[in-house]
C-alpha cells in the first residue's frame, strides 16, 4: 500500500473512528515492542472512546513508561510509515510469529484463522489482524495514552495476567482536547469517590466483591426513587409482585438460562434438590400468569417488581455501582394480545419518558433492533412485533435508528440510551419482545373464539437497575441531588447554644411536614458549620441567630448559590413543599 497523506478537504467523517482507533492500537503496540523488546502483545481493539492493547511483561508499566511510549508513538506517526496488508498461509503466519516470540498471536491464529491469514505491517512491526486500517501512520496525530490496568488473557481469571494500556484518539486536536476535559470532569464526578464522601454506600471485601451496602443516606435516595417508580406504575395500571431469590434448577433449565446464560452462580444443593440464585425475574412472573387460566378479557396483564437478581461478574469488570453482582432491576412483564401490542409498547415508552425526565434526562439515542439470522418464533409474529415497536416510536415522536438484524434471537427490541450532564450515553430502558419463553412455558389464553392463543410477552426495564441508575445519578448531578431527592434537604445551623431550642423546634416542625432535616448542635463556629454543609452538598442551610430567634424567622443559604436573606418560616415551608410535590430540578428562593 502506498503512502497516503490526508489532504485538506477530505471528508474525515467518512473514515470511521473505529478504524482510526484500531490503527492507533497497532501504533501503541509498535511503540511498546520498540521500547521494550521481548514484550508479548495480545489483542488491541477499538473501544467506545478510544483503544487499548494488552501486553505481557514482567515489569509493570509506570507513568513514566506511558510518557515514553506516547513519545515513541508520535515519532512513529511522524515517520509516515505505510500500513500494508500482508496475506500469508496459516503455516507461514505461525512460523513468522514463532520467530518473533509472540505466543499469543500463534494461539489466536490457530484458533481463528482460515487457510489464509491477514496481517498488517508498518515498518518493522506486524500484527495478525483483519483490518481495515488507515493508509499510513501519519494519519494518527491527535492521541493520548490514559492509563494502565490489569487484564487477563481471554478474560480468564485463572489465565495469564496481562497489562492493559488505554488510550484515545480523534480526528482533530479540538476533539481530543474536549474529550480530555470531559475525562477530568468525570473524575471529579466519579460516583465511587462521591459515594464515600457523601456517606451513601460502601463495598467490603469481607462481604464479597460487587455486593453493595446501602448507607442511610443512599437508602433514603433509593427509597424516594422507588416510591416515585411505584406511584407512576400504579398510574399506568401495573400490579406489583414479590418473588423468591432462588428456584429449583429445573426452572432455569426450562427457561433456557442454563443453556444460554453464562453469568449464573453455581447451583445450591439441599435435601437432594438443586436450587439456583435467580439471574432474572422472568420465570417467576410467567408462573404467576400461569397460576390460573387466562381469558382474552384478562389481557393486558402488567406485572412489575423491583426484583433483586444475582449474576457472577468477573472481578476484573466490577466497577462501583455500575457493574455489580447483586442488583435490583425495575422489572416488568406485559402479557397482551396481538391487537394490544402497539398500545402497550407506546405506554411503556411514555412511562419511561415520564420517569427519566423527572431526573433531568430529556435527550436520548433510540435504537430498534430487528430479526437476526438465527431466531425463534414465527416470522409473522416477528414482523407484527417489529412493526408495533416502530409505530409506537413514531407515535411517541422519538427519532430512532434501526439496527438491522441486531435483535436477540428471541425477539425484536427497543433500547433507549440517555445522555447525562457530560453528554455520555447510558443504556437504561429496554423494551424486549420474547417469543422464546412464551414457547418454552407454553403460555396461552382463551380467545373470543374459545380456542387457546399464545399471548405476546414483553420484557421491560426502564431505569435498568437501582444500583447502576443511582451511580449514573450521582455522576449526572455531581452529588448535588435535587431537593426532592436529597437525603438531607435542610440543615439548621444555630450560631450559639442559646439558639438550640429554636433550631430543634424548627426541625420538629419540618419533620411533621415530611421534610428531611437535621440540626448541627456542634460547638463549631458558624463558618465551619456552613463549610461542612456545603461539602455534604445539602441543598438548604438555615442560619439561626439572635435576629431569627427574635423574629421567629430563618436566614436561608442555598448550596452552591449563597445567602438568600431572611424569610418567614411558613413561606419557606410552602416553597419547599411545592418543590417536593413538583419534583423540581431547580430552586428559586
Q: Which residues are catalytic?
A: 282, 311, 329, 331, 333, 413, 459
Spatial separation of the C-alpha atoms in residues 112 and 128, rounded to whole Å: 10
Residue 335: its H or E element: strand 326-336
Q: Which of 46, 37, 3 is nearest to 125 (CA)?
A: 37
SS3 per-residue string spanning 50-86:
EEEEEEECCCCCCHHHHHHHHHHHHHHHHCCCECEEE
- How far, in Å, CA of 501 to CA of 86, rounded? 83
Alpha carbon 119 to its chain's center: 35
Sequence-distant (≥ 6) Cβ neighbours of residue 357 within 8 angstroms? none
Residues 63, 21: Cα–Cα separation, whole Å:
22
Cβ within 8 Å of residue 386, ≥6 positions away? 368, 370, 371, 412
**Going by DSSP bridges, is the β-strand pair 301-310/326-336 parallel, antiparallel, or unpaired?**
antiparallel
Work out the angle at residue 53's Cα, subtended by the Cα atoms of residues 47 and 58, and round it to the nearest 5 degrees: 150
* Residues in a beta bridge with 151: 162
**Phi-psi map region of 287: left, alpha, beta (phi>0 left; psi -120 to 50 alpha):** alpha
* Residue keyed to cell 413543599: 577
- How far is it, in rounded angstroms, from Cα 388 to Cα 399? 15
CA–CA gap between residue 347 and residue 157 (Å, rounded): 43
CA distance between the termini of the chain: 67
Q: How far apart are CA 405 and CA 402, in angstroms?
A: 9
For residue 28 the three cell numbers come to 501503541
Under 8 Å CB-to-CB from 232, ≥6 apart: which residues?
Answer: 351, 354, 355
For residue 362, the surrounding DSSP H or E stretch is none
Q: Which three cell numbers stand for residue 196?
A: 464515600
> Are 542 and 555 within 8 A, CB to CB?
yes
Identify the CA nearest to 124 among candidates 66, 83, 176: 83
Return d(Cα 11, Cα 132) in angstroms, integer: 18
Is the C-alpha dihedral spanning 193, 194, 197, 200 positive or negative?
Answer: negative
Amino acid at each position: 500500500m502506498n503512502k497516503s497523506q490526508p489532504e485538506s478537504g477530505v471528508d474525515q467523517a467518512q473514515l470511521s473512528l473505529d478504524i482510526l482507533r484500531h490503527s492507533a492500537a497497532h501504533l501503541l503496540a509498535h511503540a511498546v515492542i520498540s521500547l521494550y523488546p521481548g514484550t508479548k502483545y495480545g489483542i488491541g481493539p477499538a473501544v467506545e472512546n478510544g483503544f487499548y492493547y494488552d501486553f505481557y511483561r514482567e515489569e509493570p508499566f509506570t507513568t513514566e513508561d506511558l510518557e515514553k511510549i506516547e513519545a515513541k508513538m508520535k515519532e512513529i506517526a511522524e515517520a509516515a510509515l505505510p500500513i500494508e496488508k500482508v496475506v500469508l498461509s496459516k503455516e507461514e503466519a505461525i512460523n513468522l510469529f514463532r520467530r518473533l516470540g509472540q505466543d499469543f498471536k500463534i494461539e489466536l491464529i490457530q484458533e481463528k484463522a482460515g487457510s489464509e491469514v491477514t496481517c498488517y505491517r508498518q515498518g518493522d512491526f506486524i500484527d495478525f489482524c483483519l483490518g481495515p486500517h488507515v493508509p499510513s501512520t501519519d494519519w494518527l496525530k491527535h492521541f493520548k495514552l490514559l492509563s494502565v490496568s490489569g487484564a487477563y488473557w481471554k478474560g480468564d481469571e485463572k489465565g495469564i495476567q496481562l497489562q492493559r494500556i488505554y488510550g484515545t484518539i480523534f480526528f482533530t486536536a479540538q476533539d481530543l482536547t474536549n474529550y480530555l476535559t470531559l475525562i477530568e470532569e468525570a473524575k471529579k464526578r466519579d460516583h465511587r469517590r462521591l459515594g464515600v464522601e457523601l456517606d451513601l454506600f460502601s463495598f467490603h471485601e469481607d462481604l464479597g466483591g460487587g455486593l453493595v451496602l446501602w448507607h442511610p443516606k443512599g437508602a433514603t435516595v433509593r427509597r424516594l426513587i422507588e416510591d416515585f417508580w411505584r406511584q407512576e406504575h400504579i398510574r399506568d395500571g401495573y400490579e406489583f409482585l414479590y418473588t423468591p431469590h432462588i428456584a429449583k434448577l429445573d426452572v432455569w433449565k426450562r427457561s433456557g438460562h442454563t443453556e444460554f446464560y453464562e453469568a449464573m452462580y453455581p447451583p445450591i444443593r439441599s435435601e437432594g434438590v438443586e436450587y439456583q440464585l435467580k439471574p432474572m425475574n422472568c420465570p417467576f412472573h410467567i408462573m404467576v400468569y400461569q397460576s390460573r387460566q387466562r381469558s382474552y378479557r384478562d389481557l393486558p396483564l402488567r406485572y412489575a417488581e423491583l426484583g433483586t437478581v444475582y449474576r457472577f461478574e468477573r472481578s476484573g469488570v466490577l466497577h462501583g455501582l455500575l457493574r455489580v453482582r447483586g442488583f435490583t432491576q425495575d422489572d416488568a412483564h406485559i402479557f397482551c394480545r396481538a391487537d394490544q401490542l402497539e398500545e402497550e409498547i407506546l405506554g411503556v415508552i411514555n412511562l419511561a419518558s415520564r420517569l427519566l425526565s423527572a431526573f433531568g434526562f430529556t435527550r436520548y439515542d433510540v435504537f430498534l433492533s430487528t430479526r437476526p439470522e438465527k431466531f425463534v418464533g414465527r416470522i409473522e409474529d416477528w414482523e407484527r412485533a417489529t412493526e408495533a415497536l416502530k409505530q409506537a416510536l413514531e407515535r411517541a415522536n422519538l427519532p430512532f435508528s434501526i439496527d438491522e438484524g441486531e435483535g436477540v434471537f428471541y425477539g425484536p427490541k427497543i433500547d433507549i440510551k440517555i445522555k447525562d450532564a457530560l453528554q455520555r450515553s447510558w443504556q437504561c430502558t429496554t423494551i424486549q419482545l420474547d417469543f422464546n419463553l412464551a414457547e418454552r412455558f407454553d403460555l396461552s389464553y382463551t380467545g373470543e373464539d374459545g380456542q387457546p392463543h399464545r399471548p405476546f410477552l414483553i420484557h421491560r426495564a426502564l431505569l435498568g437497575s437501582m444500583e447502576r441508575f443511582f451511580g449514573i445519578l450521582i455522576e449526572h448531578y455531581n452529588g448535588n441531588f435535587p431537593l426532592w431527592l436529597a437525603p438531607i434537604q435542610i440543615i439548621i445551623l444555630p450560631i450559639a447554644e442559646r439558639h438550640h431550642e429554636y433550631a430543634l423546634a424548627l426541625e420538629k416542625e419540618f419533620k411533621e411536614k415530611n421534610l428531611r432535616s437535621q440540626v448541627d448542635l456542634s460547638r463549631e463556629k458558624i463558618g465551619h458549620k456552613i463549610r461542612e454543609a456545603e461539602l455534604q452538598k445539602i441543598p438548604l442551610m438555615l442560619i439561626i441567630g439572635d435576629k431569627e430567634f427574635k423574629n421567629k424567622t430563618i436566614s436561608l443559604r442555598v448550596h452552591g448559590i449563597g445567602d438568600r436573606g431572611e424569610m418567614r418560616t411558613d413561606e419557606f415551608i410552602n416553597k419547599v413543599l411545592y418543590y417536593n410535590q413538583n419534583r423540581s430540578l431547580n430552586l428559586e428562593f
